[in-house]
Amino acid sequence: MLDLLQSASDGVLYGATYALIGIGFTLVFGVMHKINMAYGAASVGGAYLGLMVLKLGAGLPVPLVFFGSFLAGGLLGWMVYLACFHFIPLSSPLATLMSTVGMLLLIDEVIVHTTDGMPQNYPALFDDVMLRFGEFTLRGDLLLVFLVSVACMAGLLALLYRTRLGLATRAVSQQAIAAQLCGIRLAQVNVTTFVITGLLGGIAGAMIGAAVGTLSPLLTTPLTVKGLIVTVIGGLGSVPGAIVAGLLVGGFENVIQLYRGVTERDLYVMLLLFAFLVFRPGGLFAPAGGRN
């Protein structure tokens, strides 16, 4: 019983990174009705670029690496937008899907080539701090991952619900024509959405690096798949849905891993997705369609 609780809570803490990735997919989908397949790869890429801070000089504080990953993620988000969306006709649903798949492969290749395919150590903020409650423990690094991710989500929600930019973003994702009639510029909202989701992705990549302790090109595919699963389970376009689904998938997969081992883990995650597609295809929080 304690084992179950322990692995569920570890999983939920780590699941915060899935939630961030799910938010990235879901926001872009909400605003543009497009899937950005390169998002997981760009997020890992942002984490890699953040590591370059360490190369600048040892002795630099570790939070700078996180911050570097954050900024690099935003930059990559902007570049993905330019390369995959800006010059490509948005009316064709397949064109941007393929351009972002191409970008996913490109980022992967660049990572493999610049690191010779070797995993890179990612610094931890502190070593093996544990909060103990009797037998139950909270790992310090996972707690940090969770708190940083939650802070980013809170920041995003404040941006969405408290600012003019957030108002424009919500308006475009709910009724793009009416948003234009209010004087909101679609292209501007599109590009800022990519930068903002890129920033979140950079943080997610950094947090994954911090929790796992290494970065490797092998991270991108599972992260992309998990992110998409979280997006679907949460309800395409729903930010609260992505948050809940991310934590749910994180906890679920860790519990499965406890009972069935790591090799069967993703199989059960797929089954969870399948169950949702059959019984609740709109996801947990399908955005309200309204009456019109």
Partner 1 sequence: MPALLEVADLVTAYGKIEALKGVTLEVAEGGITCLLGPNGAGKTTLMYSIAGILKPRRGSIRLRGEELGGCAPHEAVSRGIALVPENRLVFPSMSVIDNLEAGAYRRQGGRTGRGEIDADLQRMFGRFPRLKERSAQLAGTLSGGEQQMLAVARALMSRPKLLLMDEPSLGLAPLVVEEIFRIVSELHRDGTTVFLVEQNAHMALKVAQHFYLMEQGRVSFSGDPGSLAEDEVIRRAYLGSAK
Nearer to partner 1, 8 or 86 (CB): 86
- What's the angle, vertex CA 194, arms to CA 189 and CA 198, rounded to 5? 145
Q: Which residues contact 14 (CB under 8 A, 6 or more apart)?
A: 142, 145, 146, 211, 250, 254
- Residue from 60, 101, 124, 167 in contact with partner 1 (CB under 8 A): 167
Site string for partner 1, 184-213 (x = CB under 8 A): xx----------------------------
| Cβ-based nearer residue to partner 1, 120 or 175 | 175
- Is residue 89 close enough to count as binding partner 1 by CB under 8 A? no
Output the DSSP codes for 58-119. TTS-THHHHHHHHHHHHHHHHHHHIIIIISS-TT-HHHHHHHHHHHHHHHHHHHHHHTTT--
Nearest approach in angstroms of CB 85 to partner 1 is 18
User: Which of 52, 147, 154, 180 forms a contact with partner 1 (CB under 8 A)?
Assistant: 180
Using alpha carbons, select from 72, 100, 106, 67 the residue that is nearest to residue 85.
Answer: 100
Is residue 134 involved in binding partner 1 (CB under 8 A)?
no
Q: Does 168 bind partner 1 (CB under 8 A)?
A: yes
- Select the residue interacting with partner 1 from 131, 158, 181, 262 (CB under 8 A): 181
Which pair of tokens denotes residue 287?
């955005």
Closest CA to 151 of 19, 283, 288: 19
Rounded to whole angstroms, how far apart are CA atoms 292 and 280? 23
Span between the terminal Cα atoms of the chain, in Å: 49
Closer to partner 1 by Cβ: residue 179 or 273: 179
Q: How far is the CB of 234 from partner 1 (least distance, A)?
A: 15
Residue ranges in 230-289 that form contacts with partner 1 under rule CB under 8 A: 287-289
Q: Which stretch binds partner 1 (CB under 8 A): 5-13, 16-24, 135-143, 171-179?
A: 171-179
Tell me, rounded to whole angstroms, the distance of Cα 170 from its chain centroid: 19
Q: How far is CA 279 from CA 142, 272, 284, in A?
A: 32, 10, 11
Q: How many residues bind partner 1 (CB under 8 A)?
A: 22
Among the residue ranges 42-50, 54-62, 168-176, 209-217, the one whose residues contact partner 1 (CB under 8 A): 168-176
Which residues here bind partner 1, judged by CB under 8 A?
164, 167-168, 170-171, 174-175, 177-185, 287-292
